[in-house]
Chains A and B, each alone.
Chain A
Amino acid sequence: MPAPDALEFFIDPGRCIGCQACIQACTECDTHKGQSMIQLDYVNRGHSTQTAPVVCMHCDSPTCAEVCPADAIKRTEDGIVHTAQVPRCIACNNCVLACPFGVPKMQTRMNLMMKCDMCYDRTSVGLKPWCASVCPSQALAFGTREEMARLRPHAKPVNAFQFGLQTIRTKVNMMVPRDAGPEIVDVTAAMHEPTIGHEILDDVFDDISDGGDA
């Protein structure tokens, strides 16, 4: 049974309060019972309490499935990208490394990649995913576009992301400021910004060539 089109998933990291309710609720999901598929990122832990929840964006061109050598990751007609098929997954970690959003999780004990499937058992019958049903600030929201436009007058949903040369369209929407927000969110834009509090070199070969001269 496909997930209904009218209801969509909206992520608004700016509303996230870091309560971890979504992580707990996620473990209740019957499609991956006991395993939380949500990653709660601390944006800049030394300087801010800001957190950002990461759920699967369900790309129209899923990189995880593109790189899967075992043909194990499949996408249903409603656009949901599912956990690797148990008989096929070889636990090679390609999907974990390739995903632009860092979503797939390798369950080493089970030799299986598991990922957020938008609580397929619930959304396919019109219920909210667990995370969206418990999120107290509705940073993770599940509803119609009209509902979101009414509730979030200053935000707009964006579902286009730039990842290197590839533009990815996703089923899940990211809320950005309505007036100043980008049309396409560049996933890797901050990759070359200087890190704060960490002395990590962007290009290790620069250092080697400098040191070689001395």
Chain B
Amino acid sequence: MMQSQREAGGPQDLDHGTVPPDGRPLADQPKWRQDFPIDVAQDEYVSRRELVKFIVLTSAALTVGQFWIVLKRSFSGQPARLAGERIASVDELSVGGARTFTYPEGSTPRLLVRTGATTFVAYDQQCTHLLCPVVPAVELGRLHCPCHHGWFDLHTGQPLEGPPQRPLPKVLLEVREGIVYATGVEESAT
């Protein structure tokens, strides 16, 4: 009698985890039952030690990453000189007009603005805040980023207002015989 009792439902049967009231396997149970298991082993419990470990390791990784960025910057030399490239003729743009181009080939879009009869400026079009394209506002002498209302100086690329903290990378230009050439890119220093 006792032997059959053990076979029918002895404590060894209890070791296979909690049995739902309808007795069906866990896979057939509704999702909420799988999301809120009664068994400790299936519960996603984060111990204090695990949390402290996670925080310490993540902080350490961030700290090391900061030093890595500093070292990378201080050891990387000047970028290779770029070849001059024709990007537009003077007649293509009226004064105050603008167009995009890529320089060097395959770069992010650059913005060429004609500010005067013989003066041109060109910057990277991506705002240094969150990479929205900037729009020239030549009559104000500024570049405008409409996403968060960042403003840059049209003549220097320096940030004037709004969230951007760094100047726009400047494309160096040269005008010869009615043709605008790009001759290099001045990456924004921090």
Nearest neighbor of A61 in chain B, beta-carbon distance:
B19
Partner pick for B38 among A74, A159, A166, A171, CB 8 A cutoff: A74
Cβ-defined contact, A145 with B2, below 8 A:
yes
Taking the nearest CB of chain B, how far is it from the CB of A101, in angstroms? 16
Partner pick for B9 among A65, A71, A78, A160, CB 8 A cutoff: A160
Interface size on B, as a range, is: 20 to 34
Cβ-defined contact, B5 with A158, below 8 A:
yes
- Residue A76 at the chain B interface, CB threshold 8 Å: yes
Nearest neighbor of B8 in chain A, beta-carbon distance:
A160
Taking the nearest CB of chain B, how far is it from the CB of A75, in angstroms? 5
- Residue A186 at the chain B interface, CB threshold 8 Å: no
Contact A78/B15 with A158-B5, A169-B9, A178-B1 known, Cβ cut-off 8 Å: yes
- Residue B74 at the chain A interface, CB threshold 8 Å: no
Taking the nearest CB of chain B, how far is it from the CB of A201, in angstroms? 30
Partner pick for A5 among B2, B12, B19, B38, CB 8 A cutoff: B12
Nearest neighbor of A158 in chain B, beta-carbon distance:
B5
- Residues of chain B within 8 A of A166, CB atoms compared: 21
Encode contact with A along B1-21: 1 for CB under 8 Å, 0 otherwise.
Answer: 110011011111111011111
Cβ-defined contact, A77 with B17, below 8 A:
yes
Encode contact with B along A138-179: 1 for CB under 8 Å, 0 otherwise.
Answer: 000000010001000000111110000010010100000010
Cβ-defined contact, A159 with B11, below 8 A:
yes
Cβ-defined contact, A156 with B39, below 8 A:
no
- Residues of chain A within 8 A of B39, CB atoms compared: 74-77
- Residue B52 at the chain A interface, CB threshold 8 Å: no
- Residue A126 at the chain B interface, CB threshold 8 Å: no
Cβ-defined contact, A66 with B11, below 8 A:
no
A135 to B86, CA, bound (A): 99
A93 to B40, CA, bound (A): 21
- Residue B75 at the chain A interface, CB threshold 8 Å: no
- Residues of chain A within 8 A of B186, CB atoms compared: none
Contact A60/B19 with A5-B12, A65-B38, A145-B2 known, Cβ cut-off 8 Å: yes
A169 to B19, CA, bound (A): 9
- Residue B43 at the chain A interface, CB threshold 8 Å: yes
- Residue A18 at the chain B interface, CB threshold 8 Å: no
- Residue A62 at the chain B interface, CB threshold 8 Å: yes
Near B by CB (< 8 A), chain A positions 31-85 give 58, 60-63, 65-66, 71, 73-79, 82
Cβ-defined contact, B40 with A60, below 8 A:
no
Cβ-defined contact, B21 with A61, below 8 A:
yes
- Residues of chain B within 8 A of A171, CB atoms compared: 11, 14
A77 to B17, CA, bound (A): 6
- Residue A121 at the chain B interface, CB threshold 8 Å: no
- Residues of chain B within 8 A of A159, CB atoms compared: 5, 9-11
- Residue A28 at the chain B interface, CB threshold 8 Å: no
Q: Which 6 A-B pairs have the closest CB atoms?
A: A79-B14, A65-B38, A169-B9, A61-B19, A74-B40, A71-B36
